[in-house]
Amino acid sequence: MKRRSFIKHSGAAMVAASPLGAVAVRYLGEAAPWQLIPMDDTQDDHLKAYGVTFRALERGAKCEWFLNYRDGAFLVPGDAATVRDARLAGVTADPISEGELLAIRGEIAGANMEAVPLEKAPDVAVYAPPDAAPWDDAVTMALQYAGIRFEQVWDAEVLGAGLEEYDWLHLHHEDFTGQYSKFFLNYSGTAWLNAMVAQNESMARRLGQPNVPALKGAVAETIRRFVTDGGFVFAMCTATETLDLTLAGQGIDLAASYADGDPIDPNAASKMNWDRALAFHDAELVLSPTVPQFSNIDGHQVNAPSRRQSLGSFTLFSFSAKIDPVASMLVQNHRDVIPDFYGLTTSFTRATLKPGVTVLADEPGAPWVKYIHGEAGEGTYTFFGGHDPEDPQHQIGDAPTDLSLHPHSPGYRLILNNVLFPAAKKKVLKT
């Protein structure tokens, strides 16, 4: 298992501010040694900027992430390959000299900013069935649009190699309780649901599991070990809620019987072991097979009669880049207030969060939060509620989101912050 050490990087990079300022020089002959990729409103394509930085790391370059400087700018080499890559991607990248870089470092040293080295492109995996439509997963679309390499894995790969080849794993709308997101209630008999059930049942038999809930429970446990051994997990939508419900309910049948109308074991809640869950505790389970909810973790209850009918907006928290660079990396953005968007799990009820969870964004005054982060063992997890940041009311069968129409999406920027997060040589917290 590859691991990322949270170690203190040298303060020697911080230098006195230059009186010349940091105005980029246009080089007519000799190439500039560096390029600054701004992430404020001067950037022509915020999302593809992550891809340019990622590919520079893949080529072995050393890059930096300037937290809170120009909304999370990147420093990349001025070599011909990186310059050409940025131009072809339509990404704004300003050539800067060593003197200009010294001035920037001085500005960073004297403010709530930090320069975090980016050392190696992470090995990225997306957990999804082999025939999953790429447009139905916001992270897959973000990775493809930005040009970030990834591999797709599903149950056989997870239970086989145990995710040893990867640093970063994404989970989206998988229902780890084995109830197919309770789609039976509204979509029973549809071809796509029948195919999903057949595919999962076939995989359970192939891997020697008695049923689909047992299969998903084994996968969830492997993912938990991936995190505690030093991996990075980023989850959205249903995967956030159902992963923790399944981990806490190991050995308990949390799947209702739709064929016979049998409810979940009424004593299941008292048997849950929340110490095994990553982010949540003491959630109230929904036991009935006729109610399309899993628990009270989701504050919006999108499929329930009590659904919150209107969407608001959520606000990113501000963190000290020097004291808490990890949280600061995850919220870098050119917008602080972002329109909300639905998912089967849209938000996380505050009362169900474990005490050590860091809230990265919430809807002020609401009993739920949108974006959270935490540590488990040697690794970390980040959960982001909702399905697609640019498709607020997402329905099954909706047209794909065209990210070329949303190159400045602040919601998609949060996703891509997480992809680059494992590349960072993170500083030890001073608290």
Domain ranges of the chain: 11-118, 124-423
* Percentage of residues in the chain having pLDDT higher than 70: 87
Which pLDDT belongs to residue 87? 97
Question: Which region among 111-120, 243-252, 309-318, 388-397 has the lowest average model confidence (pLDDT)?
Answer: 388-397
Going by pLDDT thresholds of 50, 70 and 90, the confidence category of residue 9 is: very low
Specify the 3-state DSSP secondary structure of 67: strand
pTM: predicted TM-score of the whole model, two decimal places: 0.90
> Which pLDDT score is estimated for 286?
84
Q: Quick count: other Cβ atoms within 10 Å of Cβ 275?
A: 9
Give one word for 180, left, alpha or beta, with left for phi > 0 and alpha for psi -120 to 50: left
3-state class of 135 per DSSP?
helix
Yes or no: say if 392 and 406 are a contact pair by the CB < 8 Å rule. Answer: no
Q: Is 61 exposed, middle or buried (0-12, 13-18, 19+ CB in 10 A)?
A: middle
Query: Residues of 7-40 as b/e, b for ≥16 C-beta within 10 angstroms?
Result: eebeeeeeeebbeeebebeeeeeeebebbbbbbe
Instruction: Calculate helix-pair angle for 410-420, 138-146, nearest 10 degrees.
Output: 80
Parallel, antiparallel or unpaired: strands 94-96 and 73-77: unpaired
pLDDT confidence of residue 136: 77
> Is residue 5 over pLDDT 50?
no
Q: How confident is the model at residue 29 (pLDDT cuts 50, 70, 90)?
A: very low
Helix, strand, or coil (residue 211): coil
The pLDDT of residue 420 is above 80: yes
Q: Give the CA dihedral 178, 180, 182, 185, nearest 10 degrees.
A: -130
Helix or strand run (H / E) with residue 176: none
Q: What is the CATH number of domain 124-423?
A: 3.40.50.880
For residue 24, pLDDT beyond 80:
no
- pLDDT-based confidence at 67, cuts 50/70/90? very high
Q: Residue 252 has what pLDDT? A: 82
Q: Look at residue 428 and tell me whether its pLDDT is greater than 50.
A: no
Q: Is the pLDDT of residue 12 over 50?
A: no
Q: 3-state DSSP helix/strand/coil percent for the chain, to nearest 5?
A: 35, 15, 50
Task: Work out the average pLDDT over 355-379.
Answer: 96
Cα(284)–Cα(157) distance, integer angstroms? 32
Amino acid at 171: L
Best CA proximity match to 375, nearest among 319, 322, 426 = 426
Average confidence (pLDDT) over 342-354: 94
